[in-house]
């Protein structure tokens, strides 16, 4: 049985993050900070409205990590947390406005972790999450929801 350890992990998809937690061999718990890179979308209306946004996420999670082969573990997990959304809305007629809102996030993931040696591992898989943000008064109480589905990959150092 491998020793219990603390691990740091880099998460990558359309974001960058740092995760620290405790590994109990067949399950683990962690806290993480994730920065989603800026994205933009043209709304396609006559006004030429363009929305740019980025998010900061603070999450806690737990994973079930049973061994499926030598040096290979299955990862089944869930996570939840706080999301801070920063938006910049540009309209050719009205100029630019900034807005911020907060939200609650809930997500799940499935993947695998391959142990290179006692201290190093790589992790990969599929994750999906949904964030429901508070409405923004300056945009007629617009309700903002964000759904992310994608692959992730990370490196873990165990000490």
pLDDT, tens digit (0-9, with 9 covering 90-100), for 86-118: 888 777 777 778 888 888 999 999 999 999 999
Q: Which of 40, 65, 57 is nearest to 106 (CA)?
A: 57
Predicted pLDDT at 2: 39
Confidence of residue 58 (pLDDT cuts 50, 70, 90): very high
SS3 89: strand
Predicted pLDDT at 100: 82
Question: Which helix (H) or strand (E) element contains residue 120?
Answer: strand 120-133
Token pair belonging to 103 = 């939200």
Helices (H) and strands (E) in the chain, counts: 0, 9
Determine contact, residues 84/53, Cβ cutoff 8 Å: no
Partners of 157 in the β-ladder = 8, 120
């Amino acid at each position: 049985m491998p020793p219990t350890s603390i691990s740091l992990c880099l998460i990558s998809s359309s974001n960058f993050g740092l995760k620290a937690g405790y590994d109990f061999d067949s399950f683990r718990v962690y806290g993480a900070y994730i920065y989603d890179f800026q994205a933009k979308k043209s709304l396609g209306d006559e006004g030429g409205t363009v929305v740019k946004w980025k998010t900061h996420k603070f999450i806690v999670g737990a994973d079930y990590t049973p061994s499926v082969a030598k040096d290979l573990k299955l990862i089944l997990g869930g996570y939840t947390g706080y999301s801070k959304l920063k938006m910049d809305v540009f309209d050719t007629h009205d100029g630019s406005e900034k807005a911020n809102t907060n939200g609650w996030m809930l997500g799940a993931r499935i993947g695998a972790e391959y142990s290179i040696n006692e201290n190093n591992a790589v992790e990969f898989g599929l994750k999906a999450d949904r964030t429901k943000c508070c409405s923004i008064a300056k945009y007629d109480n617009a309700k903002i929801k964000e759904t992310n589905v994608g692959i992730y990959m990370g490196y873990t150092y165990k000490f």
